Amino acid sequence: MNQRLKVVIAHQTVVDGDAIGHDILGMYQTLTNMNYEVFIYAENYLGDFERYKMNEYDLLKYLKDKKNILIYHHSVFWDKGEELINHCKAHLFFRYHNITPPEFFKSYSQLYYEMTLQGREQTARFIRIYENGHWLADSEYNKIDLLNYGLQYESIDVVPPFHAIEDWSEISPNISLVNQVFSNKRKNVFFVGRIAPNKGHKHLINVIKNYKDNYDKDIQLWLVGSIDTHHLKSYMDELRGIIREKNLEENISFTDKLPLQDIKALYLSSDAFLCMSEHEGFCVPLIEAQFHGLPIVTFNGSALKETVGPDQIVLESIDYNLAAAALYTVFHDLEIKEFCQDNGYINLYRRFSQQNIQERFNASLNKVIGSEPI
């Protein structure tokens, strides 16, 4: 009896609950259903991913077989990962999540600056050396980024990331937090994303300042995301300084990383999702907001416009006056609010359903390896 073909999905760190972790698990399940024998390899296994741990002897053995497949998730510089690719005789796929431009970190963290610089240099090196590699970009934005590195058009497919958005239906919100938000008698604006210089927090603060000055003082911004108090302390200090300077201490809340019950509570009790991030390869929270029926205000930067889809509020550039006006509009014009909500649902389910993503992923695999395993 023929042995099933092996697929190794690799990333430097795998952690349950983050966007890349969901993408990896989505690939794992899809490939398993296609009758592949699937493994996950990482230097660091965190949370539930511990149960997928594989040993390096099997890893190297599988990568020597030309019939097998390696799917390398590229989002960060990974020296050991490059060594694996050097030993790989299997079909090679790169899953490209993009890497933050190092300029964002230059003023705040030498470590992150060097890591992102090395990561982008590694991207260029992968493209130059591994001409047989096929790239799966999260978005058209990421595809264009790869083309700018010099990758050939035919070596790239756009496959949106697998996600676990439907799982939100099974999560019970923290009702006490829902009540707390509703009881503040304010318009509540939400953003989720780690506290990092590319995420546009300064712009969010300025939009809230503009809204407070020109429309209504009763507004609250909730900023959910992990805070690196060691390597990005100076960035966090700068944000808090701006908030004090603009007299917004009572209008902006940093929560740090929250459990899913609390995040769902904020999705359900907020009035709008505001995103002014300056670098995103996809931005899963945008479609999470659409799933929860939150109107979105964003701008045409990196992959943001592409991800939110048509008939959403997308400014052509970062404009604090227009962003504040857009918030006021979705707060007070029910017809526009419902238009944004309805078209957000349509965008999510037409473009990013699990079936749609699976079909695009399968088509990309079969284009390279020929056919599904028997």
pLDDT digits (tens, 9 = 90+) for 239-271: 999 999 999 999 999 999 999 999 999 999 999
pLDDT tens per residue, range 267-297: 999 999 999 999 999 999 999 999 999 999 9
154 and 185 belong to one structural domain: no
Two tokens, residue 337: 């609010």
Two tokens, residue 139: 């978005």
> With pLDDT > 90 as the criterion, what percentage of the chain qualifies?
93
- Report the CATH number that the domain containing residue 275 is assigned in CATH: 3.40.50.2000
Two tokens, residue 89: 């005789």
- How far is residue 353's CA from residue 287's CA, in Å, rounded to a whole number? 11
Task: Give the pLDDT of residue 1.
Answer: 35
Task: Give the pLDDT of residue 50.
Answer: 86
185 and 265 belong to one structural domain: yes
Domain tally, the chain? 2
- How far is residue 5's CA from residue 10's CA, in Å, rounded to a whole number? 16
User: 1 in a domain, yes or no?
Assistant: no
Task: Give the pLDDT of residue 370.
Answer: 78
Q: How many helices, marked H, and strands, marked E, lie in the chain? A: 14, 12
> With pLDDT > 70 as the criterion, what percentage of the chain qualifies?
98
Does the pLDDT at position 113 exceed 80?
yes
Range of the domain at 59: 6-163+353-369
Question: What letter would DSSP give residue 199?
Answer: G
Strand partners, 137: 96, 158
Task: Give the pLDDT of residue 149.
Answer: 97
Task: Give the pLDDT of residue 47.
Answer: 83
296 and 340 belong to one structural domain: yes
Does the pLDDT at position 371 exceed 70?
no
Does the pLDDT at position 115 exceed 90?
yes
- How far is residue 348's CA from residue 327's CA, in Å, rounded to a whole number? 22
Does the pLDDT at position 151 exceed 70?
yes
Q: How confident is the model over 201-225, as a mean pLDDT?
A: 98
Give CA separation, 229 vs 32, 194, 248, 306, 326, in Å.
Answer: 40, 12, 21, 32, 33
Give CA separation, 157 vs 50, 70, 95, in Å.
Answer: 30, 16, 10
147 and 194 belong to one structural domain: no
- How far is residue 275's CA from residue 286's CA, in Å, rounded to a whole number? 8
138 and 184 belong to one structural domain: no
153 and 194 belong to one structural domain: no
Q: How confident is the model over 105-114, as a mean pLDDT?
A: 98
Task: Give the pLDDT of residue 374.
Answer: 46
Q: What is the SS3 assignment for 64?
A: coil
- Alpha carbon 112 to chain centroid, angstroms: 18
Amino acid at 174: N
Q: How confident is the model over 71-91, as a mean pLDDT?
A: 96
Contact 285, 307 (CB under 8 A): no
User: 49 in a domain, yes or no?
Assistant: yes
187 and 285 belong to one structural domain: yes
Task: Give the pLDDT of residue 2.
Answer: 52
- Alpha carbon 308 to chain centroid, angstroms: 13
Contact 56, 42 (CB under 8 A): no
Task: Give the pLDDT of residue 373.
Answer: 55
Give CA separation, 68 vs 5, 65, 93, 132, 179, in Å.
Answer: 6, 6, 11, 14, 52
Does this model's pTM top 0.75? yes
76 and 11 belong to one structural domain: yes
